[in-house]
Amino acid sequence: MIKALIFLLFKEMEGGCRIMATSNKNRMSVSEMIEQQKKKRKFFNQLERLIPSLLLIIASISVLTTIGIVYTLFAESVAFFRNVPILDFFTGTILKPLSQNPEFGVLPLLNGTIISTVIAMLVAGPIGMMSAIYLSEYAPDNVRRVLKPLLEILAGVPTIVYGFFAFTFVTPLLRMIFPSIEATNILSPGIIMGVMIIPMIASLSEDAMSSVPNSIREGALALGSTKLETTFKVVIPAALSGIIASFVLGISRAIGETMIVAIASGSSKNFTFDITQSMQTMTAYIVEVAGGEAAAGTTIYYSLYAVAFTLFVFTLIMNLLAKYISRKFREEY
């Protein structure tokens, strides 16, 4: 609707220009023609004044949605905490929502999320960073032009495919190294999440590094630095805020990742640090419960919101932390 109006507005302007161009022969002065057009364009002038308000309303949609989501999460979580004491929820190491005497400790889920994220970042961080360094500092132009889009294709693989791959390929492979590994375990989805995040870190870090002006590199090289010294002591510090941003996005992606862990890590709500065992993440729990028969109004139903709210707070803290870190280490150029 709005788009159509704006389109019409431009069309009208264009039309006006054309009239001016063709009526040249009639020797009508330009100011007269502008005067004529002015009358015609009264409606559009009115519209022009409304546009800021229209745009504001559209821009508020996402903000209002976010507020709505946070409000729902919060309100339903409050309902949950009426049934389960908040301290039990955050310190409980046992999660048995379907048992006769249900227990709702979130720690097994938090533990699963953190461990899978740490594994993913241990894989994605170094590999993504090295790829970014190669692409930005070492790769010849033609190699970069082929390699970067290829890397970004990896980011387009649906996560369900990754999950399937982790379950049917990586876990059997890991079994050769750790014979005792369970059929569903946290290690294999963790690794695969890392693989999934590599392109994100590589691509964003590469962008950050290649936007460091060449003159700065030349300055370092002219002082007798080797290429490696220039990269690690000048280029990376200069691009640090962008690099940190890419890591945070990677971490957020790992925390929020659902499909891979739901498939390859099973649904045991173990509170353990043994990565060869099955664990459940917060997201996988939400999938399991939402997919089961959780009747509205039951404690297990409300636990969904409590877990979701925890997840939300978790990512929020991550983002704030990242913002703080990247501001602190920022080297402006």
Partner 1 sequence: MSTVMEKKINLKLVRNPNENNEPEAEKEVVYDTKGLNLWYGETHALKNINMEIKEKEVTAIIGPSGCGKSTYLKTLNRMVELVPIVKTSGQITYKGKNILDKSFRVEDLRTQVGMVFQKANPFPKSIYENIAYGPKIHGIKNKKILDEIVEKSLRGAFIWDELKDRLNDNAYGLSGGQQQRLCIARCLAVEPNVILMDEPTSALDPKSTLRIEELVQELKKDYAIVIVTHNMQQAARISDKTAFFLNGEIIEYDNTDHIFNNPTDERTGDYISGRFG
Nearer of residues 56 and 222 to partner 1, judged by Cβ: 222
Smallest distance from the beta carbon of 283 to partner 1, in angstroms? Answer: 38
Nearer of residues 149 and 219 to partner 1, judged by Cβ: 219
Smallest distance from the beta carbon of 221 to partner 1, in angstroms? Answer: 7
Residues 225-244 that bind partner 1 (CB under 8 A): 225-226, 229, 233-234, 237-238
Instruction: Give the DSSP letter of residue 24.
Output: G
From the list 16-24, 64-72, 214-222, 320-328, the region that binds partner 1 by CB under 8 A is 214-222
SS3 of residue 103 by DSSP:
strand
Determine, following the binding rule CB under 8 A, whether residue 223 of this chain makes contact with partner 1. Answer: yes
**C-beta separation of 260 from 166 below 8 A:** yes
Question: How far, in Å, CA of 304 to CA of 302, rounded?
Answer: 5
Determine, following the binding rule CB under 8 A, whether residue 292 of this chain makes contact with partner 1. Answer: no
Smallest distance from the beta carbon of 5 to partner 1, in angstroms? Answer: 44
Smallest distance from the beta carbon of 210 to partner 1, in angstroms? Answer: 15
Smallest distance from the beta carbon of 234 to partner 1, in angstroms? Answer: 6
Report phi then psi at 187, rounded to 5: -65, -45
Smallest distance from the beta carbon of 202 to partner 1, in angstroms? Answer: 23
**C-beta separation of 210 from 131 below 8 A:** no
Interacting residue with partner 1 among 4, 87, 176, 222 (CB under 8 A): 222
Question: How far, in Å, CA of 85 to CA of 93, rounded?
Answer: 14
The CA distances from residue 331 to 23, 114, 119, 213, in Å, are 58, 30, 29, 12
Provide CB contacts within 8 A for 97, sequence distance 6+: 103, 104, 289, 299, 300, 303
Determine, following the binding rule CB under 8 A, whether residue 139 of this chain makes contact with partner 1. Answer: no
**C-beta separation of 190 from 275 below 8 A:** yes
Interacting residue with partner 1 among 47, 54, 147, 221 (CB under 8 A): 221
Interacting residues with partner 1 (CB under 8 A) = 140, 213, 215-216, 218-226, 229, 233-234, 237-238, 331-333
